[in-house]
Amino acid sequence: MGRLGRVGRIFVLSALIGCTRSVSDTALNAERDQDGDGLTDQEEADLGTDPTNTDTDGDGFADGDEVSAETDPANPFSWPYGGDVWPDFSDEADAAGLAGDAYAIGEVVPNVMAIDQYGNEVSLYQFYGMVVLLDFSAGWCEKCTETAATAQALWEARREQGFMVVHALLQDDAWNTVDLAFQNTWVETFGIEFPVVDADTSSTIASEMYLGLDEADLNDGWMPFLVLLDRELRLIDTHEGVISNEEVLGLVDPLLE
């Protein structure tokens, strides 16, 4: 076998050095966590998430937290359920210029604020991009409790497709104003993991929507009173009284497509 000349030896040495660096860089990348979300770059590559973005799907939950909770970090409608934080797409709503000022079928509803079962403020517009079913109920209303008994199952059936249910309580079971204790009683009684908010008519929070719909002749005061909004938070339909989960899904499914 012939001997390599000086140039040939330099070429081989350079190639070996290059290979060593390539292998070293690959090893470093496998252990590196560029965005600090608890997942290595290699794990993010395997998952199809962005190694430079802590929250790939923009739902407000870090990719690493979602993996730990066994939810999908690439699906904005899949997040660690059962916690005290909800997805927040308020920035997307702002970017879209979302602003409703009246209650009418086909129109964007005004934003309203409410206090959830954890004592935290919730904004309707933070659910922009989701199909939302608002259920106005009261603790003393037998039909409301009948609807509440199957509400969790209804939500679970479509939540990963972008369906959100919100229960807005107007009064407790003794016709009194709603407090956190009663909100949590409602949650525990019906095994609910979605937002349950205070919508007492003596307040100026979510009750604004209930009264606004009444003034628009879309609400005759019956309960439960259901309000269906599409992904753009436009008012699609209202319904008074009990309606089966199958009937609700018949209205919801076309909006999820």
End-to-end CA distance of the chain: 69
Structural domains in the chain plus CATH codes: 6-68 (no CATH), 90-256 (3.40.30.10)
Query: How confident is the model at residue 8, as a pLDDT?
Result: 47
Query: How confident is the model at residue 199, as a pLDDT?
Result: 85
pTM: 0.79
Distance from the Cα of residue 250 to its chain's centroid: 21
pLDDT in tens, 193-226: 999 999 876 665 567 888 889 889 998 888 999 9
pLDDT in tens, 129-184: 999 999 999 999 999 999 999 999 999 999 999 999 999 999 999 999 999 999 99
Query: How confident is the model at residue 227, as a pLDDT?
Result: 96
pLDDT in tens, 1-19: 444 454 444 444 344 444 4
Please answer whether residues 212 and 238 qualify as being in contact, where contact means their C-beta atoms are separated by less than 8 angstroms: no
Residue 167's Cβ-side half-sphere holds a number of Cα atoms within 13 Å equal to: 32
Mean pLDDT value of segment 47-56: 81
Q: In whole angstroms, what is the distance from residue 180 CA to residue 204 CA? A: 16
Q: Which residue has the higher pLDDT, 71 or 127?
A: 127
Q: Which residue has the higher pLDDT, 60 or 165?
A: 165
Mean pLDDT value of segment 42-57: 79
pLDDT level of residue 26 (50, 70, 90 thresholds): very low
Name the H helices within the chain.
Answer: 6-31, 41-47, 63-68, 90-95, 142-148, 151-158, 180-190, 207-215, 245-256
Query: How confident is the model at residue 206, as a pLDDT?
Result: 66
Please answer whether residues 235 and 107 qualify as being in contact, where contact means their C-beta atoms are separated by less than 8 angstroms: yes
Q: Mean pLDDT in the chain?
A: 85
Query: How confident is the model at residue 63, as a pLDDT?
Result: 82
